[in-house]
Chain A
């Protein structure tokens, strides 16, 4: 089945130690998104890629970076995690056709703990 895969499902890191979360997709979608979801809150968009075109949300901290080496993979890098970055990180994909974006497909998420 075509899907969005996130690894690992659970990640523990230490305060200030860089961490990378990964997302892959078999849907061949040209748009990939990263959302942050803190406990008991709704998901919040951090940034997205349309092909290799990176689009950052205005309020996304500089501590968060992303890479998309090819269509299938997208990475979220947190350069110096703080305690406030503990959250579920959700990857999603969508197909853009012309100027229209179809519905988003989400992965299961990676739960990040910062010690």
Chain B
């Protein structure tokens, strides 16, 4: 499985966009990029995933570079409730290994008033 590298922590002002980077330079062609977040004392929550194209849903946008070696999760208008640890996960091809998730250390995002 490809390894991911994320900054350990970031701050963001409330109402501003939060841009969370992730490096995955060893990603394989059939591996997806997934983002989950974990608010303190809760279970992780799925945010978004993508393979090659940029993706957007009601929670966030995912921008994947053309060479797929890095990606950025964008929370367009961060709120205090977005304070959490954000995990970027490169997931084995969906049909392998039971869809397992291998979590890295993640980025602790603090949204400040």
For A50, the chain B residues whose CB sits under 8 A away are 98
**Which 5 A-B residue pairings sit nearest by Cβ, starting from the closest?**
A101-B99, A106-B43, A99-B95, A42-B103, A100-B94
Judge whether A81 is part of the interface by a CB distance below 8 angstroms: no
Contact of A108 among B42, B46, B94, B102 (CB under 8 A): B42
Contact of B101 among A55, A102, A104 (CB under 8 A): A104
Name the prevailing secondary structure of the B interface residues. Answer: loop
Which of A94, A98, A103 lies at the interface centre, i.e. has the most chain B CB atoms within 10 A of its CB? A103
Q: Is the CB of A44 within 8 A of B103?
A: yes
Q: Is the CB of A107 within 8 A of B95?
A: no
| Interchain CA distance A106-B44 in the complex, whole Å | 6
- By beta carbon, the residue of chain B nearest A95 is B99
Using known A-B contacts A42-B87, A100-B94, determine if residue A105 contacts B46 with beta carbons closer than 8 Å: yes
Judge whether B112 is part of the interface by a CB distance below 8 angstroms: no
List CB contacts (< 8 Å) of B65-113 with chain A.
87, 94-95, 98-106
